[in-house]
Amino acid sequence: MRLALAALALTCCISAHAQQLAPYGDASPPVPTGRLAADSTQNASIRSTPLPESQQRAIPDAQARMERADAGEHEKRLLDWWTTGATVVLALVTLGLAIFTYRLWKATRTLVVGAKDASGRQLRAYVNVRGASVQMIVPNSEPIFTVSVRNYGQTPAHRIVSWMRMNFGADPEAIEFNDSNYDDSSGRSILAPGEGIEMVIGRTTLWTSQEVGDLARCASTASVYGEVKYLDVFGNERYTRFNLLTGGHYGLKDQVLRHAKRGNCTDEVPDD
């Protein structure tokens, strides 16, 4: 009897405990009722309702537009890169062309200036000493020196002026060329190409035996020096200077006057 009661009590406990665990086990969920049941039914119908065909087509269209936008942006960046590169290359080419043009202009200018200088040198007047002499140097004769100049250029020499001085016994190189030797009252002439003029100077006192003897023994000199100024056809002022002597280390060999070591020069070939 006691055993039967214990078995019954155990059976009751097990049944009660099973009822408490039923909601968390395999039992079905509670069925909603009322308004909650209606809302659940509406949401389920919304989820199960398919999208309209226009909306279904709009989704891939939007994706395609996004892809096209991305591709267009990529093409724009690529085009900008090529445009920038082409601009840089064009700038470098332009710079190189400018440098080449400048160098070409400079070379052409050098050639033009050189050709002009060469033409000027070829065409200008060249007045120079053609020869110089002294009359026979003997005692009691008059010292007369003659210097001949000629235009060796191809164009006339204009506004020619000149002066000449004598130097006896003194150092033939101790001379000075300055404009104070010119006579403002002297005339100005034109010397055509190939033509020449003679410059003559003399001394009123005659040669003495002492002077002639010193010249012959190379103990003294007699010289003439002077300058000729003129304008060439281009308007440039030119000059020719001369210093010619007899005696000295030359002695009295003949009547020809010879160049001294100093004082023979032109505007283009200055004196040393």
28-42 pLDDT tens trace? 455 555 555 555 555
Q: What is the pLDDT of residue 134?
A: 92
Q: Which amino acid is at 79?
A: L
Q: What is the pLDDT of residue 118?
A: 73
- Quick check: 69 pLDDT over 50? yes
Residues 110-137: tens digit of each pLDDT: 888 777 777 777 889 999 999 999 988 8
Using CA atoms, how far apart are residues 262 and 67, in angstroms rounded to an integer? Answer: 97
Q: Please name the residues in contact with 203: beta carbons below 8 A apart, sequence gap of 6 or more.
A: 142, 143, 144, 166, 168
Using CA atoms, how far apart are residues 268 and 272, in angstroms rounded to an integer? Answer: 12
Among residues 142, 146, 237, the alpha carbon closest in space to that of 197 is found at 146
Asked whether the CA dihedral 264, 268, 271, 272 is positive or negative, the reply is negative
Q: Please tell me which of 50-59, 70-79, 135-144 the model is most confident about, judged by mean pLDDT.
A: 135-144
Q: Please name the residues in contact with 102: beta carbons below 8 A apart, sequence gap of 6 or more.
A: none
- The greatest distance separating any two alpha carbons of the chain, rounded to the nearest whole angstrom, comes to 201
- Under the banding of pLDDT at 50, 70 and 90, the label for residue 232 is very high
Percent of the chain with pLDDT over 70: 75
- Under the banding of pLDDT at 50, 70 and 90, the label for residue 98 is very high
- Quick check: 18 pLDDT over 50? no
Q: What is the pLDDT of residue 39?
A: 53
DSSP helix, strand, coil percent of the chain (3-state; round to 5): 45, 25, 30
What token pair was written down for 119? 């033409």
φ, ψ at 58 (rounded to 5°):
-70, -30
- Quick check: 152 pLDDT over 70? yes
Question: What pTM was estimated for this model as a whole?
Answer: 0.59
Average pLDDT, integer, range 162-169: 90
φ, ψ at 28 (rounded to 5°):
-70, 150
- Quick check: 175 pLDDT over 90? no
Average pLDDT, integer, range 201-229: 91
Give every strand in the sheet of 127-134, ordered side by side. Answer: 127-134, 144-151, 196-202
